Amino acid sequence: MRAILIAAMAGAIAATAVTTATSVRAQGMGGNVTGFGKDAREKPEKKQYIPGTKAQEKVFPLDSTWTAVSLNGKVFSGNDRPSFIIDKQYRARGYGGCNTFAATAFPLREQHLAVGPLALTKKPCDKGLGATEQDFFIALRTAGQWDLVGSQLVIKSQKGELKFDRAL
């Protein structure tokens, strides 16, 4: 009889221990009931995704040819308007109005643009066109940010603001 009583008490103690351990685990005080591993209680909570809360980042239009419209509001006119393209290998090439150029150009995050040193042809130009071309090259080389506004590409630089139309 004494053996049966001891066995019953041992069973009750074991059942209480299991119930207590499960309760402690469920409260996150030790172990893991949910199966996420040993340190489940230390995992950070996931933030809820709310659609439309993050602004869409624009993507620079690679492999598109752009023809200059204006620099600081001064309109480029005639058939010798500057133009450029940046291909998928981040090689920029174009025309300044008299000379051609090539460079590396990297569209970066947050609509920044980094343009490397320009390799230029050295064709002689008349003074007025040469000065306009020089201003264009400096503005392009010192480009800081870009944006697509309507159908135009706008590049802001230390020299001012360049506006481009997409060429056909």
Greater confidence (45 vs 152) lies with 152
Query: In terms of domains, do 28 and 84 share one?
Result: no
Q: How far is residue 36 from each of residues 23, 25, 162, measured CA to CA in Å?
A: 17, 12, 55
The percent of the chain in helix, strand and coil, each rounded to the nearest 5, is: 25, 30, 40
Does any domain span residue 31?
yes
| pLDDT tens digit sequence for 47-71 | 554 555 445 678 889 999 999 999 9
Does any domain span residue 52?
no
Average pLDDT over residues 133-160: 93
Q: How high is the mean pLDDT of the chain? A: 78
128: its two tokens: 């007025």
- The CA distance from 165 to 68, in Å, is 6
Beta-bridge partner residues of 72: none
Number of domain units in the chain: 2
Dihedral sign computed on CA atoms, order 128, 92, 157, 78: positive
CATH number at residue 160: 2.40.128.270
Pick the range with the lowest mean pLDDT from 16-20, 94-98, 118-122: 16-20
| pLDDT tens digit sequence for 80-114 | 899 999 999 999 999 999 999 999 999 998 899 99
Confidence of residue 22 (pLDDT cuts 50, 70, 90): very low
- The residue with tokens 């409260």 is 27
